[in-house]
Chains A and B, each alone.
Chain A
Amino acid sequence: MRKKILVVDDDQRILNLYMRLFEAVGLSMFDIVTMPDPYLATEYVLREKVDVVILDLRMPKVNGQKFYEALKEYNPELKVIVSSVYPIDKQRKMVPDATGYYDKSCGPIQLVEKVANVLVNCN
C-alpha cells in the first residue's frame, strides 16, 4: 500500500523543491501532497488517510503549534515531522512531542532520511 506524505508550508518555493526532491530520490512509491494553506490541509487530513505530515511551524495565518495540536486531536496516531528554519532545540521547545524535527537549512537530503526513518519505524 502506498504511503501518503503531506507537506504543509506557506512557501510555494519550498513545496516545489520538496516535490521534485521526493520524485528524484525514488520515493515516488509514496504519494506526495503539498498544501500551502493549513486550513485546507486540516480538511485534507480529515478526509484522507495521511501517514506522515511535514509541518512548517511558522506560517502567517496560523500558529504552527496550534495547528499541530489540532492535527493530533483529529488523529493521535498521525506522524508529524516539524520543519522550520528555527534550530531544532527551539522547535522542540515549541512542539515537545513531535515524531521528528527538521531544520530546513540542513538540506533536503536530511529530510528524505528523516521521512524514510519514520516510515520504516511505522512498519
Chain B
Amino acid sequence: MKFSPRKIQFKKTESPKEKKSKSRRFQRRNSFKFEVTALITLVVGIILMVFSCVLYWILSHTLHVDMDNELKIKAETVNQAIRVYVDVRGEKPESLKYAIEKAVVEENLHNTRWWMFGFQRRWSEQLDDLDLDEVYINFASSKKASLFRSKNMDSELTNQFLTQVEIDVNNKSVFKNLNFNDQRIRIINYPVSYDGESYYCIQIGASQRPIVVLLENWLKSTLYSIPAVLILTFFVGQLFASRILSPIQKITSTAKTIADGDLSMRMEAQDYYVEMNYLIDAFNEMIERLERSFHHIEEFSSHVAHELKTPLTIIRGETELASLEGRNTEDYKRALGIILEETENMLTIIEDLLFLSKLDYRPEFPQMKKMDFVEFFREVSEQSRILVNEKKIQLLIDIPNEKIFVIGDSVHLRRLFFNLINNAIKYTPSQGKIQLNLVRKNKEVMVSVKDNGRGINKEDLENIFERFYSSNDEDSGVGLGLNIASTIAKVHKGHIEVVSLPNDGATFQVFLPIV
C-alpha cells in the first residue's frame, strides 16, 4: 500500500483561521459596539414602556372622569328642567309627572312640537341641547320602581338599572358600573328630593364603548410602534457607535504594525473626540517608551555580550596558545593563571549585572531599616584603612560625634562606599591622600570621598555613572562599579555628585535623606 500522509486522520484541531472567525463571532456579540447599542435600545424600550403605561393610565382616567362629569351635568340639567317646569306650572303631581314624561320620553321630538308655544317650547329646546338620545334615562322611585324611562330602554335593561339604584343620604351622586349585553354602562344615580320628603332618583347611563374603543386603538398603535422604534434605535445606535469607534480601529491597525516590529510608527491625532485624542497620545507615549526601552535593552545586551566576550576571547586565546607545540610548564602555569583571572572577572561581571537587575526591578530586594549612619560609616572607614595600606595612602577621616539616622540597607550602602573608596584608591598614586568626610546638610547627610589622583576628564564626568561606561584608562574596568554605587544611592532616595578637575583629584559626594 502506498503511504499517503494526507490520508492519515488527525484529531481535528482548529486552524488559526477557524479560531479567528469563531472568536470574531464571539466578539460580535461581546463587542463594545454591540453592548452600547443593545444597552441604548434596552433603555429606550424601558422608557417607552413606562411612558406608554403612564400615558394609558392618564388617558383612561381622564376619559372616565370626563364621562362622569358629563353624566352629572346631564342629570343636573334634567333635574333643573323638571324643577323649572314644576315651578311654572305649580307644584302639582300632574305637573311633575308631565315634566318627567316630557323630559325623558318626548325629548328630541322636533317635528311633533310645532304646536308648542312660549315657555313650553323653549323648555323643550333646552332639553334637546342636552343630546339625550345617546344615553339611557330612568326615573326610579326610592322603592326601586321605574317611574319613567327613555324609549331606548327595554324592560330587561330597566330592571338592571333598578338593581343599581342607590340613594345617598347626603344627596350626593352615586356612580355605578353595569355590564349588560357585552357592554359596560356607566350609571349616575342622581338623588332628587321633592316636596321635602319623598326621594326619587334620576338614573342616567351611558355606554363606555367609545372610551374602550379609543383606548384599545391607542394601545394597539403604541404596541406596534414600540418595536419599530426599538429596531430603528438599534440601527441608528450601531451607526453612531461605529462612528465613535472608528479611531479605535485605526489604533488597532497601528498596534498591529507595531506588533510586527516597527516601533517607529506613531498614531496621528486627528479630528477625533477629545477622549480619543487622549488615548492616542497615551498610546504614542507608550510606544515611545517601548522604543526607548527596546533600544536600551539592545544596547545593554550588546554591552553585556562585549564585556563577556572579551574575557572568553582571552581564555580561548590562552588555551590555544598553551596547546601549541613546544610549550613548557612555565607557559602552562601562566595560561592557567590568566584563565583563572578572566573566569573570576566574568563571574564578577555576571554577579554585578544580577545585582543591578535586582536593584532595578525588585523593589523589595534591599532590606531597608532605620540605622545609625554615623556609626555605620565609622565602621566602613575603619575597614578601608586596611585597603589603603598596600599603596601607603594616607587616609583622613572626619566624622562628627552626633547621631544621624537614615533608612537603608547596610549591606548595599557598604557596597556603595567601598566602590567609591576602591575607585579612589585605584586612581590615587602611592603615598597619596584620601579624605573621607561626613557632614549633615539640612535634611540630608553628605559623605564625600576625595582623592588626589589624576582627576577625571570633562567628557568622562558626564557619563561616569552610566552603565558600562568606561574611560580610556587601562584599569578603568568594565564600567559597572560607579553605576552600582549610583543605583544604590537612588534606591535609598539619594544621589551622588562628582566634582573633579584634571590632575586635581576627584571628589564623590553621596547624599542620603535623614530620617
Contact = CB atoms under 8 A, between A and B. Distances in A.
Interface of A: 10-14, 17, 20-21, 24-25, 36-37, 58-61, 85-86, 104-105, 107-109
Nearest to B316: A107
Nearest to A10: B472
Nearest to A37: B472
Interface in B454-511: 470-472, 474, 476
Most chain A CB inside 10 Å of its own CB: which residue of B321, B327, B474: B321
Contacts of B320: 107-109
- The CB with the most chain A CB atoms within 10 A, among B317, B320, B321, B338, is that of B317
B307 to A, nearest CB: 9
Given A13-B338, A60-B471, A85 B310 contact: yes
Contacts of B326: 24
Nearest to B457: A61
Nearest to A24: B324
A108 B321 contact: yes
B313 A104 contact: yes
Contact of B309 (A20, A37, A61, A105): A105
23 contacts: A12-B474, A13-B338, A13-B342, A14-B310, A14-B314, A14-B317, A17-B317, A17-B321, A21-B321, A24-B321, A24-B326, A25-B324, A36-B474, A60-B476, A61-B472, A85-B306, A85-B309, A86-B306, A104-B309, A104-B310, A104-B313, A107-B320, A108-B317
B317 A21 contact: yes
A5 to B, nearest CB: 16
Given A13-B338, A24-B324, A60-B470, A85 B318 contact: no
A85 B471 CA distance: 19
Contacts of B213: none
Given A13-B338, A60-B472, A20 B313 contact: no
B140 to A, nearest CB: 117
Given A17-B321, A58-B306, A105 B472 contact: no
A58 B307 CA distance: 11
Interface in B307-342: 309-310, 312-314, 316-318, 320-321, 324, 326-327, 338, 342
Nearest to A60: B472
B515 interface: no
Size bin of chain B's contact surface: 20 to 34
B305 interface: yes
B313 A105 contact: yes
Contacts of B472: 10, 37, 59-61
Contacts of B313: 14, 85, 104-105
Nearest to B302: A86
Nearest to B471: A60
Contacts of A105: 309, 312-313, 316
Contacts of A107: 316-317, 320
Pick the 10 closest A-B CB pairs, nearest first: A85-B309, A61-B472, A60-B472, A104-B313, A108-B317, A17-B317, A107-B320, A107-B316, A105-B313, A13-B314
Contacts of A17: 314, 317-318, 321
Nearest to B474: A12
A113 to B, nearest CB: 12
Nearest to B312: A105
A37 B474 CA distance: 10
Contacts of A86: 306
A7 to B, nearest CB: 13
Contacts of A12: 474
Nearest to A25: B324
Contacts of B476: 60
Contacts of A13: 314, 338, 342
A41 B317 CA distance: 23
A109 B316 CA distance: 10
B189 to A, nearest CB: 111
Interface string B227-249: 00000000000000000000000
Given A20-B321, A37-B472, A85-B305, 17 more contacts: A14-B310, A14-B313, A14-B317, A17-B321, A24-B324, A24-B327, A58-B306, A59-B472, A60-B470, A60-B472, A85-B310, A85-B313, A104-B309, A104-B310, A107-B317, A108-B320, A108-B321
A85 B317 CA distance: 13
A11 B374 CA distance: 41
> Which of B320, B326, B327, B470: most chain A CB closer than 10 A?
B320
Contacts of A59: 472
Nearest to A59: B472
A31 B267 CA distance: 61
Contacts of B338: 13
Nearest to B324: A24
A20 B476 CA distance: 24
Nearest to B460: A60
Nearest to B470: A60
A85 B327 CA distance: 27
A120 to B, nearest CB: 21
Most A CB within 10 A of own CB, among B312, B314, B338, B471: B314
A104 B471 CA distance: 22
Interface in B210-225: none
Contacts of B316: 105, 107-108
Contacts of B474: 10, 12, 36
A110 B287 CA distance: 44
A5 B100 CA distance: 146
B263 to A, nearest CB: 21
A56 to B, nearest CB: 10
